[in-house]
């Protein structure tokens, strides 16, 4: 296979995923087609449904991923609605909702679904940390300026893409996907340089 498609219109997401999968000799291409999403409290259900529909449109092996920011003191909100919440109130709105919260713990989660008929496989990555009191950094995208992963002092937005990819939720999910492809499918036999990264 010459190219595996990531269904997204987000250039930043594509760049991160492409860099990770290139470690395994996998060429990723971007398919900017509309994703049909269902309402569900589970990212797995949302991503799997979208991936199946996207395959019917594209007719090529592809990946659909869905991510969510789950904040403890907000009972898991925005969770699977993170993309919509970001578009409507942004991270500024999240910071306002948390203005009186002492518990600032949160987890980012990514679910990446590979559809390569007859194979459908789900890969999950999660990184926990805390929500800052104010935005920091100019890199990344989405809620990156307000999320600090455990064991670090920088927000995602203050990190370079290489550092973020080694610890991020998306990095973990796509590294699992890359490892699985390299091991199980012909044409995906990279040198496996990412195998020393904890997933």
Closest CA to 140 of 77, 69, 50: 69
Task: Note the pLDDT of residue 39.
Answer: 87
Per residue in 141-175, pLDDT (tens digit) is: 999 999 999 999 999 999 999 999 999 999 999 99
**Separation of CA 175 from chain center:** 11
Q: How far is CA 77 from CA 99, 121, 135, in A?
A: 15, 26, 18
Spatial contact of 169 and 143, defined as CB atoms under 8 Å apart: no
SS3 call for 8: coil
- Proportion of the chain above pLDDT 70, given as a percent: 92
Under CATH, what is the fold of the domain 4-196? Maf protein (3.90.950)
Question: Would you say residue 130 has pLDDT above 70?
Answer: yes
Give the integer Cα–Cα distance in Å for 185 and 9: 27
Q: Torsion angle, CA of 42/140/158/123, rounded to 10 degrees?
A: 40
Closest CA to 127 of 109, 103, 151, 112: 109
Give the integer Cα–Cα distance in Å for 189 and 173: 18
Q: Report residue 25: phi and psi, to 5°.
A: 70, 20
Task: Note the pLDDT of residue 198.
Answer: 29
- Count CA atoms closer than 13 A to 123's CA, side-chain side: 22
Per residue in 58-76, pLDDT (tens digit) is: 999 999 999 999 999 999 9
Closest CA to 58 of 11, 116, 2, 10: 116
Task: Note the pLDDT of residue 187.
Answer: 62
**Other C-beta atoms lying within 10 Å of the C-beta of residue 9:** 12
pLDDT, greater one: 197 or 142: 142
Residues catalogued as catalytic: 66
Helices 11-22, 169-184: crossing angle, 10 deg rounding: 40
CA angle (47, 50, 53) in 5-degree steps: 150
The mean pLDDT of the chain is 91
- List 120's β-bridge partners, or say none: 115
Give the containing element (helix H, strand E) for 82: helix 82-88
């Amino acid at each position: 296979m010459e190219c595996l498609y990531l269904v997204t219109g987000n250039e930043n997401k594509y760049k991160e995923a492409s860099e990770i999968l290139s470690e395994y000799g996998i060429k990723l291409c971007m398919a900017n087609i509309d994703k049909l999403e269902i309402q569900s409290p589970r990212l797995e259900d949302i991503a799997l449904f979208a991936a199946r529909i996207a395959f019917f449109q594209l007719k090529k092996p592809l990946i659909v991923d869905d991510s969510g920011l789950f904040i403890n003191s907000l009972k898991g909100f925005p969770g699977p609605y993170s993309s919509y919440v970001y578009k409507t109130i942004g991270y500024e709105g999240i910071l306002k909702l948390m203005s009186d919260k002492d518990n600032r713990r949160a987890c980012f989660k990514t679910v990446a679904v590979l559809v390569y008929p007859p194979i459908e496989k789900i890969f999950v990555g999660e990184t926990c940390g805390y929500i800052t009191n104010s935005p920091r950094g100019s890199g990344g995208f989405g809620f990156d300026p307000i999320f600090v992963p455990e064991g670090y002092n920088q927000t995602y937005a203050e990190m370079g893409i290489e550092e973020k990819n080694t610890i991020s939720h998306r990095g973990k999910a796509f590294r699992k996907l890359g490892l699985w492809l390299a091991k199980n499918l012909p044409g995906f036999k990279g040198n496996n340089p990412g195998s020393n990264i904890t997933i």
